Amino acid sequence: MKNRLRFGLARDRSGVRSGSDWRSFRSGRLLVALAAAAVAVIAVSGAGAEPRHATAPPSAAGELTVAPQDALGVLNAMGISVPAQSCLANVSAAGCPPVTKIIIHPPVNTPGWVSFGPPPPAGTAPPSGIQASGETRSVQSIRSPKHAAEYDGTGCWTTATTPNVYSTASSTAQNVCNESGVSDQETWGQISRWQNNAWATMNDCYTNAPTDGWQSCTSTFDCYHPTVAYRYVGFANAYSVIYGVGYFGSHQSDTDYSVCY
């Protein structure tokens, strides 16, 4: 293994940076702390078994609405780290748009794209036509007339690509938010490896923009284990502010079990 170190980031919201000083997901499990019900599942890797993080049922009932100043603590309690330069880490920081509340969607670890923003219009396809994961909400039942008029785009989606492992291991975190009224859009991700019965973060990435669009960053690890196969997984975390409301979503990719040359 040639590199286990992650690189710190200066607090700079003007462009794309790789690496961060935020903590890794630990102990091979994700504790999902929700107001209505806490869901905790431990996924342990055995012979041929695929280690997974715990997730809550992806439904409207699983969404958690919190005060802006409480969001960081709630996400940390769920096992989700937030980069220091993110507006979620300090909602009152200079350059961060004001928010009245933050809606946290439970993490999802099924293949495809995850919808995490305001409900898109009925029948809206996810980016690139990939079938969405966990999109079981009824648009008509939870979109108020006001929201139906304001949220006129195709919603917000996030995904982490299955790691590509050969001479390096990499995964790309994506955040696609096509809505009028977007004042902040952030994406951060990580590439992790299963070792010592836990997911260990090998590297991470972060990017942001003050408007909507297609956003991504790639975490790459310079691996080397030509005779031993390891499991790798990618994580994507997405945050968007739309009409003064913050939305957070998280996705875990499928795992890849490979050697690295």
CA distance 191 to 205: 9
Q: How far is CA 116 from the centre of its chain?
A: 10
pLDDT value at position 66?
Answer: 95
pLDDT value at position 107?
Answer: 86
Domain assignment present for 225: yes
Domain assignment present for 2: no
pLDDT value at position 123?
Answer: 63
Domain assignment present for 12: no
Range(s) of the domain holding residue 200: 17-260
Domain assignment present for 5: no
Domain assignment present for 10: no
pTM of the model: 0.69
pLDDT value at position 166?
Answer: 96
Q: Helix, strand or coil for residue 209?
A: strand
Domain assignment present for 56: yes
Total count of domains within the chain: 1
Contact present, 28 and 194 (Cβ < 8 Å): yes
Provide the strand spans (E) within 116-224.
155-160, 164-165, 169-178, 182-195, 198-209, 213-221
User: Tokens representing 27?
Assistant: 């102990």
- Per-position pLDDT tens, the chain of length 261: 443 333 333 334 444 443 333 333 333 333 333 333 333 322 333 334 444 433 333 334 478 999 999 999 999 999 899 999 999 999 999 999 999 999 999 888 878 888 888 776 666 666 654 333 333 322 222 223 333 334 446 678 899 999 999 999 999 999 988 777 889 999 999 999 999 999 999 999 999 988 877 899 999 999 999 999 999 999 999 999 999 999 999 999 999 999 999
Q: Considering Cα of 17, then 21, then 25, then 30, what sign does the dihedral take?
A: negative
CA distance 167 to 125: 35
